[in-house]
Structures are given as structure tokens and as C-alpha cells.
Structure 1
Amino acid sequence: MTRGTKAAAAGSTLVVLALLAGSMAAPEPAPLTPGRSGPPMVPVASLVSFDSCAEALAELRAAAIESIGPYGFDGGSMRLGDRAALGGESVARAFAFAEGGATPPGAGPEYSTTNNHEAGADEPDLVKTDGRRIVTVTGGVLRVVDPATRRITGKITLAGDEQSLGWGMQRLLLLGDRALVLAEDMPDAAIDWARTSRPPGTTRLVLVDLAGPPRVLGTYRIQGGTVDARLTGETARVVVRSTPQLWFPLDPGGSDRERIEGNRATVNEAGVEAWLPEYEWTTGKERHTGRVGCDRLSRPERMTGTSMLTVLSFDLSADQLGDGDPVSVAADASTVYGTATSLYLAGQRPGRAVKPNRWRPTMDDQVTEIFQFDIGAPGRPRYLAAGLVPGWLINQYALSEWAGHLRVATTSGDVWGDGRTSESTVRVLRREGGSLVPTGMVGGLGRGERIYSVRYLGPVAYVVTFRQTDPLYSLDLTDPAAPRVTGELKITGYSGYLHPLPEGRLLGVGQEADRQGRVKGVQASLFDVRDPARPIRLDQWHLPGAWSSAEYDPHAFLYRPDTGLVALPVDTGIRLLRVTGDTISEIGEVNHPGRHDNGRQRWEPSWPILRSLVIGDVLWTVSDAGLLASDPATARRLGWVATT
């Protein structure tokens, strides 16, 4: 990954959203290779714009009324592929070493960068570094640490007077001397939300100047929670999901039918502003307000009227955030995938009314909508195409753009019951007009199982499915019309994250398991995938009873290719491993001080380590208590920077 450079500002500074007419005939999908199993293809899709606010209001009301139940909007549509919906795993995040070139001579020490999915599309995290400073944000406080002197050189509290960011999620993007902090306001339950007019889940952005002592240049607030963000060149795109500002009675009384009628009346009385997110931005003492316009709104063929996606664009080289130049889609998404030129939003298409007493989704419920935007130029993204695929995504790594095509890996079927109806499929889509149309697929992967991890490396892909044993599939995607499985390796356990290593190696992080599929503790597996027909496990490291947040969040994984160092979060600490040739060896363990550590005796468990990064020959680990400098070759403690 190239560091410290600015992308060329190609094209105009403002790209107008070009929504294609819904009456445009969609091209027929290309024929599939005979004999390729998997759920059938679904019709192509596209977005359409509204001609007026009156039309938008009428259609949003009609869609919302169809989604109404006796207690508000029906809650029967779990967003499949959302980790929280699948069991509430850890939300820890971390930093990783980029596999890009070395730092130019005279530019300072080499340093790690975020373990991003794609080059040229930086992802937000709670720690960033440019080699000369470490920037962290936690508890509503941004801190700057000098790695040379191991001292805090800057600090600023970002929370407002009436709101607290202490319990909300906070991440940041770094561009030169500018940091963009992404947070969600989490007001105390005692706050009168009607008085503050800011309901829980409001996204808050803060632009901070780091050229001297940290100072706030501007802020931005918008209704809704942050889905994700990407930084390409000097432009940050932030995706926000909001719900209609409709207030249904908390204790409506009466029969279900009467409650439904009352809730429908609430919808029918609402204006279009209930759906269009309101925002506020400041610079210095200036304060500006606005609302997403009807001319910035579009919709897919099927919508529920219960959620809205808004893409905001900010120039981080400017001295203010501005209005974000928003564009919105009346849809839902839980996954953001970005490259240097494209931004994809993906989520479950709204299903039809859920039958009473049925909580397991049917095949009809399991359809993923994908919306593609062009972000190759600064300014507002330009809508390109939409598509539908059966099944649900595990995370953004299930998507990959390569050679003009989009590859998508999904699981379909019942994975909550006996699992016998489930299987996974990899599809290849291409853009034709305003639609992402299917060109080929290979299905039947892991029958009775679900996807746990995916990794695309150019024309090949690796897919891990699991229920009792772990098939690692290797796929050849060279021919978009005829993707095929080339090899399969069955072992116990599974890999929740796959990371490419030099010389045709692949490292998997997940859980070991017995033959019945019962997990037995964290494991790291080293695979040789040079022969696509015969993937081999060369070595395995296993710690019984332990777990790793890297399994659920790739930002928690750090790898340094020049030394083979792997910093793997395990429980509350970090295990340092080294991968050399065909083996995995353990270097040691790094832990942070306990909550009442006097330097000689630990009285309580250590603070959980959330991040790892490398600057020069020093490993830095970050927790809510501070930053610890260690020797990555021995795990020896070098210094401690307290933040509490």
C-alpha cells in the first residue's frame, strides 16, 4: 500500500447522480454452464428515482404501511449475514501491517497500516499511524502519541456538552494532518430526546486538525447509524442507515387489528420529512442545517419504507466538512465493500409478510440486494447499477471486484435447523446498463453448512464452509461464465479469516473442533495453495479454550511479511507467532497492565488489547488503558504510555 500520497482528482469535482429509468428493459442473463448446481438466478434489478416529493411520499407511505404490525414495523426480517444476528460475536477491531512496498529512504521508519480489504480504499479504525505519530480515539477523546519519545503530545475531548460519546462506537480516518472521527451519539436514558430532537443512534463526524495541538475544524450530525466508510484519495465516503422518524404509541391497547390501524394512521399522517434524514454541520461558530432532498432519493423495485441508506462525501483536505453532498436509497444494507473506484452497498432484500410463528427464513427471504456506485472522482458518487443474488453474505470479504466483474459468495437455506438444506454458491456478475447481471456460478459448496470465510486473490478464490468439518475450497474464476471448483481440503475446525502470505501460502484464523463440530479453542492454520487441485495444511497452532477477535474482524489481525510476524489477539492479550517456510512457531505473549497494577502485582484481569501496529522495529499494542511498546522478536516490554 502506498502511504502519504494523494490520488489524482480525475474528472469533474461534482458528479451528478444519474438514476436510470425503471422502464429500461433489463438484458437477459447469459446462459450458465450446464450441470452447475445451486439456487436459481434471480431477476436483475435497478434503481429508479422519484419525479417529485409527492410521488416519493405516496410510495414511501404505501411501502411502510405494508410493513406495519401491531407494535410498529414488523421485526421478522433479521438481516442475515449480520454477525450480531448470528450470535453476537466480538466487535473488537485492530490494525495490521500492509504488504506494500517499504517506506522511501528518508521518509521515516516503516509502519503498519490498516488491514484493508482492497488497496486504495482505506477503512476506518480506532487507531491510525503515519509512522511519525499514533492517533487513537476512545471514550470520546482523541490522543496523539509520539512513538519516538513514547509520550502523549496532543489530546482533545470530542464530546459535546449535552451528549456523551463515551459509550458509542468511535473510529477514525487519517489523511496527512487531518483526522475524521466517526462516532455515534449515545445519549443518557434520562435525556429528554424530544427536547434535544436527536434520537439515539445519531451519526456524528468530527474533522480534527493535527498540524499543531489537535483542534476541531468542523462537525457533522445526521440521523441514523454508521454502516461503514471508505477513504479514497482525499475523499471520505460515509454510509449511514436511518429509519423513519415515526412515533408509534408505546402502550396502544386494544386488539392487534386496532393497533395496526392506529399505526397505519401514524404513517398516513407523516410528511416526507419523516423519511428524509436531517443533518447539521458546523465550522467555527457557524451552524448550518439541511435535509436530504427528494431529488437525491431513489428506490429499488421492492422496498419496505422502513429504512434509508445515505452516502455522504467529504473532502478531508478542506477546512470544513460541509453538507456531505448526500444521496439516498430507500433500501437497507449491512455490508459496505469498496475499491479505489467503486462502492458497493449490500443487504437483504425486504421479504414478504412473515407468517405467524415462523422465525426461520425461507429461500424467498434470502435474497441479497447490491447497489454499485462510481467513486473514481472526487465529490458525490454516481449510481451505476443494482443486482440481486440468492442467499446472504458473511461479510465484505464475500464480495470482490476483478477484471470488470463482481464476484459474490453467499449461503442459502436453513442453517439454523438441521442444516441439510443449506449450501453455498459463488456467482460472477457483470454490469450491463443499470443492472448487475449474472454471467456464471458454481454452487453446491458445503451442503448442510454455511460460509465462514472467503478470500479472493485475483482469478482464484478460497471459501471455507463448516458444520462438523472444515472444507477449504479452491476455485478458478478465470472464465466468468464458467467458474469451477479445483480443489478441496477437509479438516477439523474452521477458519473465520483467511490472509494471503508470500510464496503461495494462506493463513487461516478460527477455531479447532472435534469430529462432531464442537469448537475446542483458537487455531491458526498454514496452508499451501500453490497447487489448485491439492490445497494442503502445512502446520497448525492451537490454544485450547481460547478465542480470537481476528476471527470476526480482520482489522484485529497483524502480519509483517519481512519478518513473518503474526500478532494475533487471543482472549485479552496478544500472541506473537512467526511464520517461516512451512511452520508456525510462537514467540511469546503480550498483555497490558491490570486495572490496579502497581508494577509488581496484578490484582485484576489485564485490559483487553484492541489493536496492534508496528513502527520501525517496535510493536505497539493499544487498549483503553494505554499503549504498550514491545520488542516483536521477544515480546519483551519496552515502554508504557498510560491514557487513563
Structure 2
Amino acid sequence: MKKKGLVVGLLLSATILTSAFTPISINADQGPVVRFEGQPITFSQQPRLIDGILMASVRDLAMALGMEVTWSEAERLAVVTGSGYELKLPMNSDFAYVNGKASTIYGNTQMVNGSMYVPLRFFMESSNHVVRWDSATSSVNVTKQADSLPVVGTYDHLVTLLTQNEGNGSAQVSLITKQAKAETTSGNASVPAGASAAVAVQDSARAAAPGYSGTNVQVEGVDESDVVKTDGTYIYTVNKQRIVVTQAYPADQMKVLSILDFPGNQDTQFQPSEIYVDDKHLIVIGNSYQNYKPVPYNGAGGTTQKKMIMPMRSQGTAKVMVYDLTDRSSLKLVKEAELEGNYVSSRKIGSSLYFISNKYVNYYQYREMTDKEEAKTGLAPAFRDTSAGDSFTSIPLDQVYYLPKAIEPNYVLIGGINLNELNQTMNVTSYLGSGQNVYASEENLYVAVTNYEQMRIQPMRMPAGDAAQGIRVGEPNRASQPFELPKQETIIYQFGLNAGKAAYKHTGMVPGRLLNQFSMDEHNGYFRLATTTGEVGRPDEGTSKNHVFILDANLKEKGKIENIAPGERIYSTRFMGDRAYMVTFKNTDPLFVMDLQDPAKPKLLGALKIPGYSDYLHPYDENHIIGFGKDTIEVDNKNPNGPQSIAYYQGMKVALFDVTDVNHPLEQFKELIGDRGTDSELLHNHRALLFNKEKNLLSFPVNVMKIDPNQATTNPKMLASAYGNFAFQGAYVYSLDLEKGFQFRGGITHLSQDDLQKAGQYVHAGDKQVQRVLYIGDTLYTVSNGLIKANDLSTLKEKNSVVIP
């Protein structure tokens, strides 16, 4: 059974209903003017409105696109072909086959005066075209998908799109969470006693600042927000509900300069989550909330019964606050900007800031409203920019696009701010759809969303001897029953970036699901992706498989490598120039090396299988890559009905792989940290890594757990599954080179001896949990919510520390 709204047919064929063309008065036997690329299509038989759906002759539509039509009498269907595209249209059917895949038609093919008619929108969108209603000329305009996205246009069309998808359960797979709308909440800069510093002194300190580390980002030149930033003199931290500015250089003069507090009140609250810093500005990004306040209204149909509903506006916003850094002891707020919805991600490229939100469209609370104008206002997305005033500005529906292949009850809003022109109102584009993973190069932003479709597969045939394997004769064999296998496709939307503006460019699609942002990469005009299809451990055709796809500048498939490591899933991927590295896992860690130099013919070169797995891969140089993950121990499983062995993860593992011989990659060095239970934020967030090849410096925060040797057991399974006790929390510091590998230099903790003595099996470091490590000149800094500590980079001897109040 196919889920309504998530099947390929819906992604390609939202129908044209009469409401989508209002206001217009036409004869039922003749539809509106249809234009292709601005030129009217000449029809031998006129389009018609049949049951509220605009229908047109298959032959006329095919001729307009330069395609051919043939009739298969044996199958009783029309076949449309052209430029690698094939559409099969059975007679009197509500489904069709697009390039061999079954697609639902919202409507039916029908014979009219001896010619087959098909819903015009389905035909055009299935061939990668966009259909729009132009109210100014009362016409239907068809353009190529690469040129534009369709516009929502009217309230009625928005309702149509949402109604068609209301049963798809799509909110479960989007990033949207319903939130409270924010009013203006400005941060208050408080200056601790004795912390005030003259601007001239600050400028002097900045001028003398040495080299320093930046945030570990995926793409050079594309900055990513983080909880800790430095400009070489000052350290800026997201500290719970505050932003703390600390003078860090020189280390012997460390002091807290100022604290931005966002106290909130009974109505609104701002939660800072990430920051950016440059020479002029501190940019704070987070979510703003308004407390829930039900509003009474008269029920539908004119009833006087009072009901309670939520306020008309979304109750949450993604908020950007820009502060002038002229005087860091008294930061000045110079701009606020908000997008309705939940903050998703952001990037900063030079002086341009781009941030993304997802707003859930709760159509259900509006469709019962008697005041339709109020409902229309509530359903439209909105933004706020203090450059244009304090109130929110609704985005007209004729300026809201929708993503035909990912229609969901959400708005994706992309805001762009030119930090050199803060008096300009931010550029905002809005799309009805959803976004999950975000990747950005210096030229393009990619938003990816995975759609799910249920498809029935054939029952498995069990091999002979099943009874001897524990399946008793006469019992139903569950494995042989038909079942629904989820099919996944990832839709990619590309937006060009230019001076704070994001403009839609292309749409692409690949099978499977993405792991994270490192599953995507842009290189030399091509876009590369790594995906997983199926389910891990299935013994049938639904088992997991992994793939790499290469798309051209128009996001059309150029090359691919399919069916890598069946039965396993991707744990990490890294694209580096003309190569790609992929780690999959089930019981062992295969590191795959792929050659992508020829985009049309990518090749799988070599693989290395070792215990453990890598959650994150980081380049060392062009022939070496560092893997951060977990070690594992594989133990025989004596359950005859289960897997033959089970792999238990152990402590943290850091490995240096030599891929000089791409056909035979090697694990050149490895470092094992702690026992089962050891963890690091680096395994979940790449920005927690500090690495500098020239300084032979490698450092990251880690929570170390160790097994008491007095409690050792000879039982392999018990030994492999045993968790360690708390031993350390802080930053581990290593030297790393190609001759000696990993050399542990020491650990830096913010926990006192008293804290350690009070620690039990587990520790809650609280405000002393080290979050980031950075360097300025010859000083290494570790940052927690309660402390910033400065240590000599060569000896790790403590130089100074400052307590954060």
C-alpha cells in the first residue's frame, strides 16, 4: 500500500484544480491558454476541465515538448518517449509509469473524441517541468524545472497542496517542531566590576595578536557557527542563556570583559545556540519563543460556542542578533532579524550570512476559521528585520514557491544578510516543503530532504532444512510473509549564493537516505552524494546497500557506484578532491577508497577491514586521513536463531589511514582511549576537533571510562559488554606525524581534585565540562561554561585561568 502524498506520483503530479485558477470563468469544454516557455501551445484538440482537473491531449503535450507518442494495442497504453524519458499511460487509469516507476495520477487518463487526455500538471511535472498559473494573463505557464519553481500563488492553491498531503505523516520526517512566536528580545550587555576596558586598549591587543585556530569546518572559506569562537585576542562563548566575551590574549591578562544576558520574561524568551565572529561583528543565532496563550474564537458555521485555539502566528522564530564589536566591554546591538519557524542551520561566507528555518504549517487550526482573511494571514510565512521596523512582514503567497518533489506542511525560509550593509533589509525566500541536511560551498547552498514510500515486495523463499534450524513444521514462517519495505529517495535543492541572496537553481534526486552534511560535496562543478538504501541486517532483497552518486551542474546523474557493503550502513563519509572515503559497519570497519576523477566512471579502488568504526573522517594530507570512532570486540553468538557473532563497541579509537596505495589502504597508526562508555562530542560534532598539521597538534574533549582491572572476567561476552568507571573529563592533547603517529602529551581538565574524589562510577561535570579546545599563539585554551584555562602549547603547563561568573 502506498502512503498518500509520499509516492512518486504525488511528488511529480499535484493536480490543477479549479481553485488553483480562480478567479477565472471558462467553459467546461475549453481550458485556459497554455504557454510553454512563454509561447502559446497550439492544440489540435483543446484542453478541457474535466471533474475540476485541467486535461489535455497526450499527443499535443508530447509534440509541444518535442517528444514522440506510440500506442501499444497489446497493453492498451500510450508510450511517450524523448531525451531519455519514458512515460507509459494506460487507458482509463489513475496511475502511470515514469521511467519504469509506478506513479499515481490525481485524476484519470480518459478518451475524449478518440484521443487520450491526461492531467496537464501530471504530464508536465513528470517530465521535469514546472506548471504555474499566471493570474495577470489568465494562462497556464509551463517552464523547464531548471529555470524556476512553481509558486503557491493563492490561498486556495495552498489549501489544495496541503489537503493532498494531510494524510502522509510527513511531519514525522521533517525537522519541524511547533514553537512559540517571538516578540523582540534584545540582549542586555552587563559588564562585571573591573572588567571594563578602553576601546583603544582593545584595539592595541588585537593588533598584537598572533596566529590562532578557527572552527573546524567542512568547506574552506565557508564558516560554520559554533558555541565557541575566537578572533585571536578574545574568546566568545555561548554560555547557557548568555554570551560571554573574555580577553584571552595575552594569557597573563585574561579577564571576562562582558556578558550578554538574555533573561526573557513571562511572554518571550530567546535561547542563543551558536555564534559567528569577524573583525566587526558578533552574530548570535538561536530560537526565540513566545509562551502559549490560547485565544478564543467563534466556531465554524457561525456557532456562538467559544473554542480555544493557538495564536494566528507561528510561536517560534529563528533569530539573528548582530552586535558591533567596537567596544567589547559594552556590546551594541545594531540589527535583529527573525524568520518564523525553527532554526535549522547557517553559513557565513565573507560578509554574507545565510540562515535557514523550518516553519510547521498547522493547516488544521485554520481551516475551521470563519474569517478566511485572518486564516490566509496566519498561513503565510513571515519575517522581521529591524531595518524595516519592529513588526513582522508576511510573505505574499504569490512570492512563496513550493518544492514539487517534497511537498510537506512546512515552510523552508532562507534569510540572507549582507553584514557590510546592515541598513538593508535581509533577503528572504520561502518554499513550501522541508529541509533536513544542509551543505554549502562558496557559490551554492544545497538543502536535502528524504522522502519515504512504502512498496510491497515478494515473499522470501526459505531454503531447505528450515525445521532443523529451529522453524517448526506447521508454524507460520514470518519471514515468508509479504511485507512493506520502505523506499527512500533524497531530493536535493540547489540555491545560488550571491551577496546575501539565495536564488533557486536546480533540483536533483538520488535513491536512499543521507547520514549528515558530510554525505554531500561539491567539486569542479559536480555534486557528489553518499546514500544508504534498505535496512541493516535484512537477509533478503531489502537489505541495506550503500552508494555514491555524481550529479552534473544541472543535478542530473553523471556517474555512480552502487551496492557497496550489502548488509551494512554508512557511518562516515569524506569527499577529498578526486577521492571519496566511506566507512560502513556491521561487525568490522571497512574503509572504502573511491576514485571520482572521471565523474562519468567512478571506481571503487580498495577496502580495508579492521575492528571498530569511524564516526568522523578528517583529512591529514592528500594521502592520509584520520578516523575518529569506537573500537569493537566481536564475540561469538551461541543463539542458533540469531547472528553468528555480535560486535560490542569499546573505548574511543583514533586511527591514521595511509591511502597512498589506493588499492590497498593501511591503518598506519591507531590510538585506543578508555573502555566501553568512553565518548567524545567529536564523534557527533566535527566542530569539537582542533587539528593543525604544521604544529603536529591534535586535541579534542573526551569523557574517559576505564574498567577496574580487579573486576576483570574471563567470560569474553561479559568482558566485551562491561562498562568502565569514570576516569577523566577534559581535553586530550596529542602530537601527530607520519613517523611516530599519535603521541599522547597529556590531558587538561577543569575538574578539581575535590571533584574527582566525589565522582562515582559516572560523573556529571556540569559547568566544568570541557567543550572546545583552541590555540592563540603559543597558548592552548580549553573552554567550559564555568572556566577558561590557558596552558603552554609546548609543555601543557598551566599559565592562567579565569572563572566565568
CA deviation after TM superposition for structure 1 residue 417, in Å: 5.7
Separation (CA, whole Å) in 2 of partners of 1:555 and 1:50: 45
Separation (CA, whole Å) in 1 of partners of 2:687 and 2:546: 25
Separation (CA, whole Å) in 2 of partners of 1:391 and 1:409: 9
Aligned pairs (5 A) from 1:252-401: 271-282=375-386, 286-320=389-423, 322=425, 324-349=426-451, 351=453, 365-375=487-497, 377-401=498-522
Aligned counterpart in structure 2 of residue 559 of structure 1, from 681, 686, 691: 691
Aligned counterpart in structure 1 of residue 209 of structure 2, from 108, 116, 120: 108
Q: What SS is found at the alignment partner of 1:518?
A: strand
Q: What SS is found at the alignment partner of 2:386?
A: strand
- 2:655 paired with 1:538: no
1:271–1:164 Cα change, 3 Å: closer
Letter in 1 for 2:280: D
User: Considering only CA atoms, is the larger Rg found in Structure 1 or Structure 2?
Assistant: 2
Separation (CA, whole Å) in 2 of partners of 1:361 and 1:330: 32
Separation (CA, whole Å) in 1 of partners of 2:440 and 2:370: 35
Q: Deviations over 1:233-252 (max 9, x none)?
A: 2110111111114455xxxx
Q: Deviations over 1:555-581 (max 9, x none)?
A: 111101122211122124221122122
Q: Which residue of 1 aligns with 2:276?
A: 173
Letter in 1 for 2:668: L
Q: Which residue of 2 aligns with 1:478?
A: 597
Q: Which residue of 2 aligns with 1:581?
A: 738
Name whichever of 387-396 and 625-634 sits farther off: 625-634
Q: Which residue of 1 aligns with 2:779?
A: 618
Aligned pairs (5 A) from 1:418-437: 421-432=543-554, 436-437=555-556
Letter in 1 for 2:360: T
Q: What SS is found at the alignment partner of 1:384?
A: strand
Separation (CA, whole Å) in 2 of partners of 1:300 and 1:640: 51
Q: Is the 8 A contact 2:538 2:544 kept in 1?
A: no
Q: Is the 8 A contact 1:513 1:519 kept in 2?
A: yes
Separation (CA, whole Å) in 1 of partners of 2:239 and 2:171: 34
Q: What SS is found at the alignment partner of 1:431?
A: coil
Name whichever of 579-588 and 554-563 sits farther off: 579-588
Aligned counterpart in structure 1 of residue 331 of structure 2, from 202, 214, 231: 214
Letter in 1 for 2:273: Q
Q: Which residue of 1 aligns with 2:11?
A: none
- 2:354 paired with 1:232: no
Q: Which residue of 1 aligns with 2:158?
A: 60
Q: What SS is found at the alignment partner of 2:570?
A: strand
Letter in 1 for 2:698: V
Q: Which residue of 2 aligns with 1:636?
A: 797
Q: Is the 8 A contact 1:50 1:298 kept in 2?
A: no
1:40–1:427 Cα change, 3 Å: farther
1:25–1:485 Cα change, 3 Å: farther
Identity %: 25
Provide the aligned length of Structure 1 versus Structure 2: 564
Q: Which residue of 1 aligns with 2:256?
A: 152
Q: Is the 8 A contact 2:170 2:409 kept in 1?
A: no
Q: Deviations over 1:257-311 (max 9, x none)?
A: xxxxxx9757996844444322223259x52420223343222323444111111
CA RMSD between the two structures: 3.7
Name whichever of 600-609 and 221-230 sits farther off: 600-609
Separation (CA, whole Å) in 1 of partners of 2:277 and 2:777: 19
1:165–1:150 Cα change, 3 Å: farther
Q: Deviations over 1:355-397 (max 9, x none)?
A: xxxxx9966641111011111x213222110101110111111
Give the helix-richer structure, 1 or 2. 2
Q: TM-score, normalised by structure 2?
A: 0.64
Q: Is the 8 A contact 1:325 1:380 kept in 2?
A: yes
Q: Is the 8 A contact 1:628 1:637 kept in 2?
A: yes
Letter in 2 for 1:67: N
Q: Which residue of 2 aligns with 1:251?
A: none
Q: Is the 8 A contact 1:220 1:321 kept in 2?
A: no
Q: Is the 8 A contact 1:65 1:267 kept in 2?
A: no
Letter in 1 for 2:169: D
Separation (CA, whole Å) in 2 of partners of 1:348 and 1:533: 33
Name whichever of 451-460 and 290-299 sits farther off: 290-299
Q: Deviations over 1:510-540 (max 9, x none)?
A: 1111223221121101111111111100111
Separation (CA, whole Å) in 1 of partners of 2:490 and 2:484: 13
Separation (CA, whole Å) in 2 of partners of 1:637 and 1:321: 46
Q: Which residue of 2 aligns with 1:570?
A: 702
CA deviation after TM superposition for structure 1 residue 636, in Å: 3.2
CA deviation after TM superposition for structure 1 residue 616, in Å: 0.8
1:539–1:363 Cα change, 3 Å: same
Separation (CA, whole Å) in 2 of partners of 1:74 and 1:341: 34
CA deviation after TM superposition for structure 1 residue 344, in Å: 0.6
Separation (CA, whole Å) in 2 of partners of 1:50 and 1:612: 55
Give the strand-richer structure, 1 or 2. 2
CA deviation after TM superposition for structure 1 residue 183, in Å: 0.5
CA deviation after TM superposition for structure 1 residue 486, in Å: 0.6
Q: Is the 8 A contact 2:495 2:506 kept in 1?
A: yes
CA deviation after TM superposition for structure 1 residue 584, in Å: 1.1
Q: Is the 8 A contact 1:45 1:388 kept in 2?
A: no
Letter in 2 for 1:327: T
Structure with higher RCO (Cα < 8 A, 6+ apart): 1
Separation (CA, whole Å) in 1 of partners of 2:338 and 2:622: 47
Q: Deviations over 1:583-640 (max 9, x none)?
A: 112111122236xx88997677432222221111111122221322223444433222
Q: TM-score, normalised by structure 1?
A: 0.79
1:373–1:267 Cα change, 3 Å: farther
Q: Is the 8 A contact 1:165 1:183 kept in 2?
A: no
Q: Which residue of 1 aligns with 2:227?
A: 126
Q: Is the 8 A contact 1:245 1:274 kept in 2?
A: no
- 2:532 paired with 1:411: yes
Name whichever of 621-630 and 204-213 sits farther off: 621-630
Separation (CA, whole Å) in 2 of partners of 1:217 and 1:628: 31
Separation (CA, whole Å) in 2 of partners of 1:24 and 1:172: 49
Separation (CA, whole Å) in 1 of partners of 2:418 and 2:595: 39
1:25–1:50 Cα change, 3 Å: farther
Q: Unpaired segments of 5 or more residues in structure 1?
A: 1-19, 31-38, 83-104, 249-262, 355-359
